[in-house]
Amino acid sequence: MRPCLVPRLLLALAPLWLAACGESRVPALPALQASAIEIKSLSNRADLLSGGDALIELRLPAGVDVAALRFEVDGRDVASAFALRPNGRVMGLVTGLTEGRQTLTARLPDGGGASLLLTNHPNGGPVFAGEQVQPWPCLAGATDAQCNRPVSYQLKYRSSRPGANTLADYDPANPPLDVAMTTTDQGRTVPFIVRIETGAQDRGLYQIAVLFDPAADWQPWDSQTGWNGKTVITGGSGCGMTHGQAAGPSVEVVNPLGLGFAVMSTSLAHNTLNCNLVVQAEALMMLKERFIENYGPIRYTIGTGCSGGSIYQQQVANAYPGIFDGIIPACSFPDTWSTMIEVMDCRLLLDYWSQPTHWASGVAWSELAQASVAGHESTAVCQSWVNVYGFDSALNPRPDPRLRDTQSCKLGAGQGYDPVTNPRGTRCALADYMASVLGHRAVDGHARRPLDNIGIQYGFGALRTGVIGMAQFIDLNRKIGGRDIDYNPTAERMQADPEALDIVYRGGLINEAHALARVPMIDLRGHDTVEIHHDYRSYVMRARLVAANGHHDNQVIWTGPGALIGHWQFETQALTVMDAWLAAIEADQSALPLEEKVRRHKPARAVDRCADGNGRDLPAASCPLLNPYYAAPRIVAGQPFTDDIWKCQTKPLDRADYAGLTPAMSEAQWAELQAVFPQGVCDYRLPGVGQQPAEPWLDYRAGPASAARRLPPPPRSQALNP
């Protein structure tokens, strides 16, 4: 959790720190008196601790010896935890914290000193994510129902043999003779031996990999020289609603490890396993706390990952700012919930086009006409969504046996919902998986959902350009229909649950990008116009950045050839550029807002670029020609390119909107159109219903939706009077 973890970037991040932790304005802070003692929680915010321990730093006035202080947690002596450390700081790892609130005091012989209120949460969670998903079976080796397990360690190494790009097992009792050497970005040459830590947090599994000397000690105040002070978090692809503990993405990523980065992952930020934004953020916060308490304070954290791995980065960075200092999304999507808008529309359009008997007499649809309505070069993107990737499983409450090993609920036999055979079974739609966030409908108890297509004029742009005619336009919009709460096709269009609309925006489930201007972003795009990872998503994020912040100076897009492939040639380069960007921000100790520092310290290499199949850069002017990008059904229908409106505000039909058509609309067609849109049509001059910036760091412990509230300001050190 950056910056509430009090990193070395603290001064630069102070405005974001307070905003992320509940302050909409930065208050004037009183200067710390030279004679005062101050207690800082380095692990995390003092009220969001977990796992029973906390890394604490003590700031002492000149001339005060730490040995003169008495340290207690609610009367329990913890003095042995504190000392002046090799890094010149007074630090201690306080262990044995019980669940709930307790007070840490550092008291001088005269009774003066300081106190800090600590709040510890279970290692198995939750912390702020609210009621946990059930059922949740644990993997073998768990010691309790929260899936806790002993921490384990494994040593691996990189071979010096030519072409060895993976890690092999390392046995310290019988060391291999072919251990490679690596030089970190701090200029330290060390053996390429990696320790991988595996443990459980928040009912998921995490891993931490670092360059490691098996013969040396490592303390959070005295790190080994192979670590450069920085971390990379890797994320997995997809979007799933897995019920139960599972393994996370691999941390055996040799390039950042060889440079000295620690590489981390958690299964709960693996989008294929867990599409729940709030749980992702909670698990990432807990992972960083675990790292700091055992390895030391972090300079900055960089997110990486493709497809679903881009989703977790961008939506978490916006809704829970500070967890990431910089992100490198690839095969990019801005978030899960606005992506589902296209998925839903593709399903409806394909259902319509697949049944010619639904077409009116004389209405025919060419491939060109269909593609123009879908907003793509062809209908292949829509086909890919619903036939190949099964993403609309996120909308379907029934378990899909075809996705049992990928993105399904992974429920046991008989546990899944069926409206006839098992109406009390577990529902598998993402809305149900996030019921602690969205809340429940009064009418049937199912999770609220934001799905809505009232007033959408599917194909309006294609009509205006003459690619489709009025007969096609009317027939499509008359018969497009919707899906009910059980995902059954309906003749009627969908109506969103109003409360759900509020929370998908307020909670950041739809990523409006208001907090992202403070986060450097290098978007790696493998050029694609024929399947789901199509280019326009990167430019949708750009449009949102401009709409929210007035600029997109913090985002650059690098495009390479080939869907899911082109981004790999840029990956190591992007990490190097991102590292330079963040290091420059870190070095700026001025009072400038973080957003301005991000813009001011943007490296010269952080510019849009594209490359050919051999990885050679091409002239910038050729990029739009070689790598065109398209749109989506609702953009064709008139929605802004931000592509972020689930439910539009409507206006009465206006015949002037259809002026200039060839042939002109007839009186009979005008009457038909009025019958198709009795509630009016979308007025995209207005924001969507419920559309608003995300409130950062929402806390769902008090309940879902409107009951969620921003975290209060973090606890601060309080002076004790003699």
pLDDT digits (tens, 9 = 90+) for 81-129: 999 999 999 999 999 999 999 999 999 999 999 999 999 999 999 999 9
Report domain extents, the chain. Answer: 10-122+712-720, 152-298, 334-696
How far apart are the C-alpha atoms of 456 and 95, rounded to whole Å?
57
Per-residue pLDDT at 25 exceeds 50: no
Q: What is the pLDDT of residues 582-640, one digit of tens each?
A: 999 999 999 999 999 999 999 999 999 988 777 788 887 788 888 899 999 999 999 99
Task: Quote the tokens at residue 61.
Answer: 């006035």
Task: Return the number of other C-beta atoms located less than 10 Å from residue 52's C-beta.
Answer: 15
**Structure-token pair, residue 231:** 């971390």
Q: Output the average pLDDT for the chain.
A: 91
Place of tokens 């307020």: 506
Closest CA to 698 of 316, 432, 394: 316
- Residue from 632, 637, 630, 628 nearest 464 by CA: 637
| pLDDT > 70 fraction of the chain, expressed in percent and rounded | 92
pLDDT number for residue 408:
63
Contact 93, 45 (CB under 8 A): no
State residue 8's pLDDT score. 37
Q: What is the mean pLDDT of residues 635-646?
A: 97
What CATH number matches the domain at 10-122+712-720, 3.40.50, 2.60.120, 2.60.40, 2.60.220? 2.60.40
pTM, two decimals, is 0.93
- State residue 327 phi and psi, 5-degree precision: -135, 150
Angle, alpha carbons 366-367-370 (nearest 5°): 90
Secondary structure string (H, E, C) spanning 414-458:
CCECECCCECCCECCCHHHHCHHHHCECCCCCCECCCCCCCCCCC
Q: Does residue 17 carry a pLDDT above 70? A: no
Kindly give the residue spans of alpha helices, DSSP state H, lying in 601-682: 623-626, 633-636, 667-676
